[in-house]
Structure 1
Amino acid sequence: MPRSALRVDAVLVQAVIAGALSFAHLHDLAAAAGQDGWKAWAYPVSVDLLLVAAWRRLRTDGPSRLAWCWFVIALVASLGANVATAGLLDLDDVPAWLRILVAAWPALAFMGGTLLAHTPTSPEPDAPAPPAPDSDPVPEVEREPAAAEQDPGPDPVAVPAPEELPALPTAEPAPADPAPTPPPAVPVPAALVDHARKVADDHHTRTGTRIDTDTLRARLGVPAPMADAIAAQLT
């Protein structure tokens, strides 16, 4: 026989034993709290059904506060009955608070079972997966505009034939500028010319070069036009 089959059988046997003991403990506690006859047998059924309903809600719809809350309540009721009937509680003299809990259990179990069966679940939407990056992105190529979309430009203008062109007026040549007139001669006294000649000779003797117009004008103390006229006569 396969090992998996033995394991499943062992689990079933263990579940039957635990369920039977828990069932008996809940019955004894309910009977000690004043619930005799068939009512004492209904209590363990109610606790086990609430425990199974909460566990099924957890397995089917996923973890939720509602399912975990009622699962813990049913588990505490079952474990509490097991511990209370283990000699820690006098079943012949059950305290008043325990009698109140046992009496209120049917309404509490009915409310829990109704909420577990009829409360809709709102599963959280899965977060969208991020887009995978392109391993080899293709560069975008700019498309050239089609020839039909290009501006055709202005319409061509008809050019007349050379024989059809009108005769253009011939521009007359501009008159040439007249030759500049020489400046009027400045009258120079003969005595001044003789004096200037002596000054020029003296300058040539001392320097070995001919006297220029600026030096002659400075030596004679005359204006520039007269100095030019005197220099012209000395050449």
Structure 2
Amino acid sequence: MRALLARVDAVLVQAVIAATLSFAHLHDLAAAAGQGGWKAWAYPVSVDLLLVAAWRRLRSGGPRAAGWCWFLVALIASLGANVATAGLLDLGAVPAWLRILVAGWPAVAFLGGTLLAHTTPETAADPPPATPEPTTTAPEPEHRPAADTPRPVPVPAALVAHARKVADEHHARTGSAIDTPTLRARLGVPAPLAEAIAAQL
């Protein structure tokens, strides 16, 4: 536990030192480029906030092109100030092109911060609401007799009465009920009609 705390303390101390030095270099460069007073102090704050916003975009997932783009812009601005104030640039005679870059930085930082803050990553976007599909009840199929089911054959009542007499006579003579083929032969009717008559006996 103590080793972990010591390592964390060392990282924090290092981060504070690096941030302080970078902050001071940005302030000195802005002041040398003609941005005096509170303006010189606002420049390092602007660069650091753009770095933080770009880093948060990179950690949030989704498209990383914008995050890397503005992270590199802010990093170059910070590194450029550190190198420029390391004795390679005469802060008493800052060139015009550097003054232009420093003067234009607020607009660049504002654009980058706005795009990073108001562009939602794809992975954080809410999914489109599901549209419920109307449920349609399929109509019940009509109850129809199968194609191979023969339709009932209408039988006249007189024919049924005559067939009953023939069947009774057959039973009295043979002692058994008359079958359909015999009934058909006795009546001389087609097979479907004979079956319909036999069903009613």
Q: Deviations over 1:161-198 (max 9, x none)?
A: 6x9599xxxxxxxxxxxxxxxxxxxxxxxxxxxxxxxx
TM-score normalised by length of structure 2: 0.63
RMSD value, Cα: 3.0
Which residue number in structure 1 is paired with residue 156 of structure 2?
none
Which residue number in structure 2 is paired with residue 13 of structure 1?
13
1:100-119 mapped onto 2 (5 Å cutoff): 100-119=100-119
Are 1:55 and 2:77 an aligned pair?
no
Q: Distance in 2 between matches of 1:119 and 1:21?
A: 32
Are 1:158 and 2:180 an aligned pair?
yes
Q: Deviations over 1:132-153 (max 9, x none)?
A: xxxxxxxxxxxxxxxxx9x678
Q: Distance in 2 between matches of 1:44 and 1:124?
A: 30
Q: Distance in 2 between matches of 1:45 and 1:124?
A: 28
Are 1:38 and 2:60 an aligned pair?
no
Q: Distance in 2 between matches of 1:8 and 1:108?
A: 34
In our comparison, the structure showing a higher alpha carbon Rg is 1
Kindly provide the amino acid, as one letter, of the partner of residue 102 in structure 1: V
Kindly provide the amino acid, as one letter, of the partner of residue 7 in structure 2: R
Which residue number in structure 1 is paired with residue 2 of structure 2?
2
SS in 2 for 1:123: helix
Kindly provide the amino acid, as one letter, of the partner of residue 88 in structure 2: L
1:1-235 mapped onto 2 (5 Å cutoff): 1-123=1-123, 158-160=180-182, 164=186
Displacement after TM superposition at 1:123 (Å): 3.2
Kindly provide the amino acid, as one letter, of the partner of residue 10 in structure 1: A
Q: Distance in 2 between matches of 1:29 and 1:39?
A: 11
Q: Deviations over 1:211-234 (max 9, x none)?
A: xxxxxxxxxxxxxxxxxxxxxxxx
Distance 1:3 1:88, change over 3 A: same
Gaps of 5+ in 2: 126-145, 153-178, 189-201
Q: Distance in 2 between matches of 1:17 and 1:66?
A: 29
Segments ≥4 residues shifted beyond 6 Å = 152-155
Q: Deviations over 1:98-125 (max 9, x none)?
A: 0000000011101100000001222399
Greater relative CO (CA pairs within 8 A, separation 6+):
2
> How many residues get paired?
144
Q: Distance in 1 between matches of 2:49 and 2:77?
A: 12
Q: Report if the CA contact (8 A) 2:62-2:121 is conserved.
A: no
Percent identity over paired residues:
71
Q: Distance in 1 between matches of 2:120 and 2:2?
A: 42
TM-score normalised by length of structure 1: 0.54
Q: Distance in 2 between matches of 1:152 and 1:113?
A: 81
Distance 1:62 1:18, change over 3 A: farther
Gaps of 5+ in 1: 126-148, 167-235
2-11 or 94-103, larger mean C-alpha shift = 2-11
More helix by share: 2
Kindly provide the amino acid, as one letter, of the partner of residue 19 in structure 2: G
SS in 2 for 1:34: coil
Displacement after TM superposition at 1:93 (Å): 0.4
Q: Distance in 2 between matches of 1:124 and 1:57?
A: 11
Displacement after TM superposition at 1:154 (Å): 10
